Each structure stands twice: as structure tokens, then as C-alpha cells.
Amino acid sequence: MGTKTAAILLTACLLLSACTAAKPESAATSNNQTQATSETSDNTDKGQGTASSPTNSSEQAGSNHGNNSTAQTTPQTGKTVADSNEATNSTATVNKTYHLDKAYNVVPNQQGAEKKVVLLTFDDGPKEAVMINKIIDILDKHKAKAIFFVNGYRVKEHPELLKLIHDRRQPIGNHSWDHIVLKNKSEAEVKKQIESVQKIVEETTGQTPVFFRPPHGAGGDVGRKVAKENGLLYMTWSVGSLDWTMKKSQPNKTDAILKNVTEQLHPGSNILMHELPWTTEALDSLLTRLEQKGYQFVDPQSIEVPAS
């Protein structure tokens, strides 16, 4: 009887010892899981959860640079103001504060609107993601918008570049399909040149352009007619940067662009530029100079367009 009791007591002691040894391992596992969850949460809050690597991809470049702010426009001046607190996919409502006169200058619709404004435009794209991103980086720095007048054949070759411009919240204009002189073409040919661009831009971005600039500033009466039928505001320009006349080897191109624009500058200037390397290099200095002269950058959305 004494032997059985001793055996039972020995077995109980062994079981108790095993249970006591298992508890620290279980607790350690639980603590490690909690710490891992906490670190993951901390990294997510600090933006460290996902690593990104540099890329030359147009689509990825657009995403990396893209919609970190939503542009709002003051109805009185049309000057854009970035508001990073708003949702990035919202669309600002902009009053139609301005119209274009017969010389394609930007003119206020009523008293009290800022007169000392300029409209920024870039023709003949889209060309290169690096250049587009640099231009838009500078525009964003100055809280400015510009119309990017695109050619259809370029969009067909690189639709991702058009999407880049759209995703970075810059207005897109129609510059015809082939960049040809339209004024002597038939109405059927002009319709094809203009409406094909409307179609491909809508297919790529979900929106159709509302601004049209004929190549070489030569659209003729038929160009005006077809533009109006498509709800497009026809325009050429009132200030030329003359960047298109410059050669790669020409020295001091930045100074030349600044001189060309500022010598012609006046309230309501509709400034023609192009997607060119030297224009991109001159842009920050140019916009700074315009601001120093008291000019503001009109939001193209605040300009009246015809009903189709």
C-alpha cells in the first residue's frame, strides 16, 4: 500500500514539473507575435511598409509623382491652390471666370476678377516621361496649371504618357492627329484630324479635350467650325516663346526664352511653349520671373468653352 502511494505521488510531481516548464515557452511565443504585429503596424503608420525602387516606366513615374494633392481654384482669380487634405480623386468645381478675346488673350468676365494673369500652354506632345514629369513638377511648385496640346499619332505611340499628364492633373488639349496645316484641307479631313484625337484621348483618360489649337496656328474657317461642333474652344496664342526656332547647339537658350516671353508679356497673355529640353530647363526661372512681375497663372478650367 505504501509503495502504491509513493508511485502516485511521484507521478503527480513529474506532471506538475512538465506543466510548469511549458508555460514560459507559450508566453514567449505570444509575446513575439504581439511584438511582430506592433512593428508591422508602426511601419505601416510611418510609410515604411512598402519599399519602392526607382523606375523609368512612364506609368510608374506618373504614379510616383501623381495625385498627392487636389487642386482648388479661387473663383476671383483662377489661381490654383493645392489642398493635400482633400481626397485625391475628387474634382474641383471651378467658376468660368474668364474667356478668350479675338486675339486669344485671357479676359475676365466680370469686374473684380484678376486681370494680371497668364495662360501656360505646351504643344506637340506627349514626348518623354522624364521631361513631362519635370515640367509638371515645376508647375506644381508654382501652383500652376498648363494646357498640354497633344498630337494623336504621339498618343497612339505612347498612351501611357498621355495618362501620365492626366494622372498628374494637368489639362489636355487637342492639337490634331498629324500636326499638319489644316486651313486648306477639306472638311472631312479636318474632322478626321480633330475628332480622332477626341476619341483617343477619351479612350485613354476617360475625358475629351475642351481646347483646340491648330498646328502652326492655321486652322482656317473649317477648323473653327469643326472645333465648335465638337465643343472645343479654338485658340492660337498671343505670346510666343519662340522655343521651336532654337537649335540644340544654340547657347543661352534659357535667357532667350525669358527675353522672348517677357518682352511680349501683357495681362491675359496666352503663352505658347513646347515639350522641349531647353524650355523645360527655362521653365522654373520663367514662372519665377512672371510671379515677380505680379502675374498669376490662370486655371484653364476657369475659361469659358463653347457648347457643342
Catalytic residues: 123, 274
Q: How distant, in Å, are the alpha carbons of 109, 181, 232, 303 from that of 215?
A: 28, 6, 15, 21
For the record, the C-alpha cell of 79 comes out as 489661381
For the record, the C-alpha cell of 290 comes out as 512672371
Dist CA 176 CA 220 (whole Å): 13
Dist CA 42 CA 93 (whole Å): 37
Dist CA 175 CA 154 (whole Å): 11
What type of residue sits at position 266?
H
- The three-state secondary structure class of 234 is strand
**Extended beta strands in 8-116, E state:** 70-73, 80-83, 98-100, 106-108
For the record, the C-alpha cell of 137 comes out as 513638377
Number of residues that make up the chain: 308
Q: How distant, in Å, are the alpha carbons of 5, 103, 150, 186, 251 from that of 238?
A: 110, 7, 19, 27, 26
- The three-state secondary structure class of 298 is strand
- The three-state secondary structure class of 49 is coil
Q: How distant, in Å, are the alpha carbons of 2, 21, 23, 25 from that of 16?
A: 21, 9, 11, 16
Q: 69 with 83: CB under 8 angstroms?
A: yes
